[in-house]
Amino acid sequence: MPPVAGIIFDKGGTLFDFTASWGAATAALLDDLAQGDAALAARLAAAVGYDPAARRFAQDSPVIAHTNAEVAAVLLPHLPGARVETVLARMAVLGATAPMVPAVPLAPLLGRLKGAGLRLGLATNDAETVARRHLDAAGVASAFDFVAGFDSGWGGKPAPGMLLAFAAAFGLAPASVAMVGDSRHDLQAARAAGMRPLAVLTGPARAEDLAPEAEAVLPDIGHLPGWLALDPVPQGRGGAGAARVGRARAACPGRPAPAGPSGPGPVCRTLRPSP
């Protein structure tokens, strides 16, 4: 297996804690669309699998992993006379201003990965302009070599278009790229692209739901340096932009990660049945 030369991240639930970031934003969107009609707001919330009282999402909520267009299509039947373009525009406006809560301190982590020579990308089922706003607000836009949304021309996940565009843009073999995400759509996109699928637990999905699709399940992206066991590859032996990876796990419940710059694991959570 080639050394990892690039990492492409999902956004919501991966770079940013999903519930902490999107709970309030979803409530604001539904209230905006309902225009003060509490019964309609409740129907909209039920349609997208959102509990306004708890500000939590159902495991199968389309908000978690679907594109904005797909979420709008779910809402539209409850909004007679509304146009999909109008709903998408409201989603973009409210989403762009929603305060994102980083899953971990992003600047030092991304700086560390960039310092190892890795190319970094973002592939989100949100709109590209919204994604760029969120990266700007977090102060990490300059860390990313590539940013794509469902509307950037390569389609949305679980199709692999955005991931393959990232690899092609920098001449990376897909097998040398890790895709990091919090949903099965992310992991399925990684496999469809021939990339290494890594799951994180900063979204609503449970470890046992993600493990069958993932090479490893990490608590959050802060554990990437330990999983990677970053060793700079000497010039002439794979290029300056690559990093060697410790032995990969087909699934890693309870196994320690290789020792790396952040110290030894374990980075993977033991999978336990849900209560």
Residue 92 burial (C-beta neighbours within 10 Å; 0-12, 13-18, 19+): middle
| pLDDT number for residue 93 | 83
Closest CA to 101 of 63, 137, 61, 55: 137
For residue 185, the number of C-alpha atoms closer than 13 Å in the C-beta half-sphere is 27
Q: What pLDDT shows up at residue 230?
A: 65
Task: Give the sign of the dihedral formed by CA 193, CA 195, CA 196, CA 201.
Answer: negative
| CATH number at 6-16+102-228 | 3.40.50.1000
* Model-wide pTM > 0.95: no
What are the boundaries of each domain within the chain?
Answer: 6-16+102-228, 20-97
DSSP 147: E
Per-residue pLDDT, 145: 98
Give the pair of three-digit tokens for residue 271: 């999978």
pLDDT at 42: 93
Per-residue pLDDT tens listing for the chain (275 residues): 789 999 999 999 999 998 888 888 888 889 889 998 999 999 999 999 899 887 888 878 887 778 888 888 999 999 988 998 989 888 888 888 888 999 999 999 999 999 999 999 999 998 899 999 999 999 999 999 999 999 999 999 999 999 999 999 999 999 999 999 999 999 999 999 999 999 999 998 999 999 999 999 999 999 999 999 864 433 433 334 444 343 333 334 333 333 333 333 334 433 322 33
Q: How far apart are CA 172 and CA 166, in angstroms?
A: 8
Q: Give the pLDDT of residue 16.
A: 96
Cβ(226)–Cβ(258) below 8 Å? yes
Q: What is the dihedral of CA 210, 96, 28, 21, to 10 degrees?
A: 40
Q: Is 179 helix (H, G, I), strand (E, B) or coil?
A: strand
